[in-house]
Amino acid sequence: MSGSLANTAAAAAARTTTATTSARSGSIAGDFNTFLTLLTTQLKNQSPTDPLDTNQMTAQLVQFASVEQQITTNQNLTQLLSLQQNSALTAAAALVGKRVEVESERLSLQNGSAGLRLPAAGTAMAARVTVSDGAGRVVRLVDVPLATSASDWAWDGRSNAGVRQADGAYRVAVAGIGTDGQPTGTPPTFTVLGTATGATRNSTGVALSLGALSLPYGQLRSVTN
């Protein structure tokens, strides 16, 4: 009968590891009560010549206690994560209306204006900025000279043909241009500038909105009034 008891304990432990966290809490309690009932019954009816292995019983009790402790730890971590996300959401909401710098491969055209922060000149003396729309069409292509320190480039929302583009999120790529006018091997790092317009909490964390552009709060790099 000890083998049957071991199978019951193993099956109970397996069920607790495949359910959701809330379901696990009720499941482990029910399985543990069932286990104790079976254990008590076996102790009452065990054969004097084949008594229950105390080492096996102890191992099964430890297994249940370990699973229950893990479930409690996961619940505490979930609560802690929720508190951290609420704190991040409160901090992000305070940024609405402020100028922010973020890491992104897209920029947000807001009220006909968008911007990038470009690095200082080095191997590259200029940055070739390519702005594309949602369909992948290039709407703006310009070479921007790099200064001795980081500098900002502003896009007025017009295409190469001078046509004003609608506000929205646009793909942006930056390539380095050397003194010979040819692309350098390593593209310059850059950040995107815009105005924070909102903050939301989703399944993956907190998102910061810059008009039509939404990105994780962790990509925020600086804030100015």
For 28, other C-beta atoms within 10 Å of its C-beta total 23
DSSP the chain: -HHHHHHHHHHHHHHHHHS-HHHHHHHHHHHHHHHHHHHHHHHHH-BTTB---HHHHHHHHHHHHHHHHHHHHHHHHHHHHHHHHHHHHHHHHTTTTSEEEE--SEEEEBTTBEEEEEPPPSS-SEEEEEEE-TTS-EEEEEEEE--SS-EEEEE-SB-TTSPBPPSEEEEEEEEEE-TTSSBPSSPPP-EEEEE--EEEEETTEEEEEETTEEEEGGGEEEEE-
Taking only the tens of pLDDT, the chain with its 225 residues reads 444 444 444 444 444 444 444 555 555 555 666 766 766 776 677 666 666 667 776 776 677 667 667 777 777 676 666 556 566 667 777 888 999 999 999 999 999 999 999 999 988 999 999 999 999 999 999 999 999 999 999 999 999 999 999 999 999 999 999 988 888 878 889 999 999 998 888 777 888 999 999 999 889 999 987
Query: pTM score, two decimals?
Result: 0.63
CB 16 within 8 A of CB 25: no
What length does the chain have?
225
**Domains in the chain, start-ordered, CATH in brackets?**
2-93 (no CATH), 99-224 (2.60.40.4070)
Q: Which residues of 189-205 are buried (b: 16+ CB within 10 A; e: fewer)?
A: ebbbbbbbbebeeeeee
Quick one: pLDDT at residue 199? 86
